[in-house]
Amino acid sequence: MNTEAIAHFVRMGGHGLYIWGAYAVTLALLLGEAWAVRRRHGRALGPPRSSEAFEAFESADAVPQVQR
């Protein structure tokens, strides 16, 4: 494939910016979401954070909660 053919493909009949803009943003959003959920899962799986340890400490001497 020569450069002329590639340039022709990228131009998309003058609508390249619209088409590639749609595809690029879609790809970025999907990859971003996939990355974000993996990070959220990794955090939830990690060792308890200090704020959670504090909550556990706080609730330890509180009145036992009625199981609903």
Partner 1 sequence: MLPRLTTLAAPSRFYALADALVPWFRAVALLFGAAGIYIGFAIAPTDFQQGEVYRIIFIHVPAAWMSMLIYLVLAFWAVWGWMLNARMASMYARALAPTGALFTVIALWTGALWGKPTWGAWWVWDARLTSEFILLLMYLGYIALTEAIDDTRRAANAGALLALVGVVNVPIIYFSVRWWNTLHQGASINLRSAPSMASAMLVAMLLMTIAFWAYSFAVVFTRARAIVLEQEHDTEWVRSLRHAGSMR
Binding residues vs partner 1 (CB under 8 A): 9, 12-13, 15, 18-19, 21-23, 25-26, 29-30, 33-34, 37-38, 40-41, 43-48, 52, 68
- Contact 29/22 with Cβ under 8 angstroms? no
Minimum distance of partner 1 from residue 64's CB (angstroms)? 13
Query: How many angstroms from the chain centroid is the CA of residue 32?
Result: 4
* Residue 3 or 17 with smaller CB distance to partner 1: 17
Tokens 């020569």 locate to 2
∠ at Cα 53 (52, 58), nearest 5°?
Answer: 95
Minimum distance of partner 1 from residue 6's CB (angstroms)? 13
